[in-house]
Structure 1
Amino acid sequence: MNNSTGRTAVITGASSGIGAATARALAADGYRVALLARRADRIDALAAEIGNGAIALPADVTDRDALVAAADRVQAELGGADVLVNNAGIMLLAPFSSAQRSDYRAMVEVNLLGAITATEVFLDQLKDGGGDLINISSVAGRTARASNGVYAATKWGINGWSESLRQELLPDVRVTLIEPGVVDTELPSHITDEETRKAVQQGYDVAAVKPEEIAEVIAFALARPRHLAINEILLRPASQLG
């Protein structure tokens, strides 16, 4: 049974990929959605497309003041958040070296600290009436490979933090960890190391699921009755080995 009517979902990284697909899927299920991302033009257009009270929240998850302002808007305009989808993330893969130090710091600040800060800011709203926290991790949160060490570190961090929160927030907030494999998103295009970017993009071109397929899984988990919590979902393209 889907009890989404009247519920509000805040989605970070909502301007593209899994975030945008999740916004559309949850809106179709009756959620009011708040779209949080840095690219204001994209989330403005998506909010207009979705309608039904959808709002755009231009903000960077590394900026706590911007997140607080976004949470205030969600409270004032939509009555507070019932769901937070921590989807914002970057994947700046490269062989480990000093040349990539700014990329390493950016991944920690966005992927790990961004999710932690967004959750801290919205937590009181999620607790008010029983909410859901969806953390988007990765298969890299289970298996590290050469050249993805810091990215994997952020995702392993998300996994451990999510399990701690799952225990701590019971029964007020359900915590669900989503660990996708290769998904057809913009992530490879942001890689600054040219050789790594080309290699990763080739892999994505061969085997990738659609963001909409991940969004369907998220919507399914949220639609379960409150007494049932789906805590962890690992999913890959059927042809992906690792």
Structure 2
Amino acid sequence: MTSPTPTDPVSGATVLVTGAARGMGELYARRAAAEGAAALALWDVDEPALAALAAALERPGLTIATIAADISRLDGVRAGMARTVAEVGSPDILINNAGVVRGAPFWEHTAERDIEGTMRVNTLAPMWLTREVLPAMMADTARPKRILNVASAAGTLANPNMSVYAASKWAMIGWSESLRLELVRGGARHVAVTTFCPSYVSTGMFAGARGPLLTPIMTPGRAVDAAWRGMRAGRAVVMKPWTVKLAMALRGVLPTRAWDLIADRVFHVYSSMDRFTGRPGR
């Protein structure tokens, strides 16, 4: 007798989380463990933090692999995937969470670290990693598969002092949405892609940034909860808070100069990064 196809994408699944050592990545890992995942592949460059998290999540029936992978390099992604498959198997759920931000006028960005480094981590790495896991996901129709791409509201609206970060997230959103449509057209409806576009989240990554009018800085728990629920349900796009959609709508209908005036003087979007400091040492 054939076993029924599971309907819960998390219970019994193998879940891969990038940037898992802290912040939202850690919360995604904890959520997966709490909801019955069978295996976790925790990726980060911070090996001691990964080891501490793995120890905290250890329980009977849960296999955990800690992968110190440099996702800014294709060979690092491929090496990490080889270890992941060997230790826990092919992922059923991929959380492309890792990211970096450089907040400064564009002309102050360095070509290698700021521009190339940001695009490698925020844009190329999710593409590379998804390309590695996708063939197995598409071939295995025995259970639902999920890909959660953590983008940003910065990828929906321009903002001073976020040029390269915004570019990396605009690219991620376009790729993520195209991938979703291709999977549907290609008959792989069991693989659902969710694009998460949050405003500022208080992980330390955006230390010093101020939330625009009606847009409070979200806690990591609230952001992860929204993204996780959307991923489980296979929703195409999750935007939080509600003002992200409002700003997109206004920008779409208003003349550019009118929007610039409102964004700058009413909503204070354009000054939200003026006091940005970021996480020390990053």
Instruction: Establish whether TM, by shorter chain, passes 0.5.
Output: yes
- AA aligned to 2:167 is A
TM-score, with length taken from structure 1: 0.85
Distance, in Å, in 2 between the alignment partners of 1:212 and 1:61 is 25
Distance, in Å, in 1 between the alignment partners of 2:238 and 2:96 is 15
Residue aligning to 1:174? 192
Instruction: Note closer, same or farther for the CA distance 1:99–1:86 as it changes in structure 2 (3 Å cut).
Output: closer
Pick the aligned partner of 2:237 from 228, 232, 239.
232
Residue aligning to 1:135? 149
More displaced stretch, 231-240 vs 149-158: 231-240
Pick the aligned partner of 2:22 from 16, 25, 46.
16
SS at match of 1:188: coil
Q: Which has the higher contact order (CA 8 A, sep 6+)?
A: 1
2:180–2:192 contact (8 Å) kept in structure 1: yes
Residue aligning to 1:194? none
* 2:135 maps to 1:124: yes
CA drift at 1:99 = 4.7
Instruction: Note closer, same or farther for the CA distance 1:66–1:230 as it changes in structure 2 (3 Å cut).
Output: same
1:207–1:237 contact (8 Å) kept in structure 2: no
Deviations 1:12-63 (A, max 9, x none): 1111111111111111111122110111111111111111212211101112
1:92–1:151 contact (8 Å) kept in structure 2: yes
Residue aligning to 2:68? 58
Distance, in Å, in 1 between the alignment partners of 2:171 and 2:243 is 26
Distance, in Å, in 2 between the alignment partners of 1:211 and 1:39 is 19
Residue aligning to 1:44? 51
Alignment RMSD (CA, Å): 2.3
* 2:153 maps to 1:146: no
Instruction: Note closer, same or farther for the CA distance 1:173–1:212 as it changes in structure 2 (3 Å cut).
Output: same
Distance, in Å, in 2 between the alignment partners of 1:218 and 1:30 is 18
**Structure 1 unaligned regions, length at least 5:** 190-197
TM-score, with length taken from structure 2: 0.74
Distance, in Å, in 2 between the alignment partners of 1:58 and 1:68 is 12
Distance, in Å, in 1 between the alignment partners of 2:36 and 2:83 is 20
1:48–1:54 contact (8 Å) kept in structure 2: no
CA drift at 1:160 = 0.5
Distance, in Å, in 2 between the alignment partners of 1:222 and 1:188 is 24
Deviations 1:189-225 (A, max 9, x none): 5xxxxxxxx5x2x559x9422212222223322433x
1:94–1:100 contact (8 Å) kept in structure 2: no
SS at match of 2:94: strand
2:9–2:145 contact (8 Å) kept in structure 1: no
CA drift at 1:186 = 2.6
**Structure 2 unaligned regions, length at least 5:** 1-6, 248-266, 270-282
- AA aligned to 2:170 is W
SS at match of 1:140: helix
More displaced stretch, 119-128 vs 145-154: 119-128
- The structure with the larger Rg is 2
More displaced stretch, 20-29 vs 212-221: 212-221
The count of aligned residue pairs is 227
Identity %: 31
Distance, in Å, in 2 between the alignment partners of 1:232 and 1:223 is 12
Distance, in Å, in 2 between the alignment partners of 1:144 and 1:238 is 15
* 2:45 maps to 1:34: no
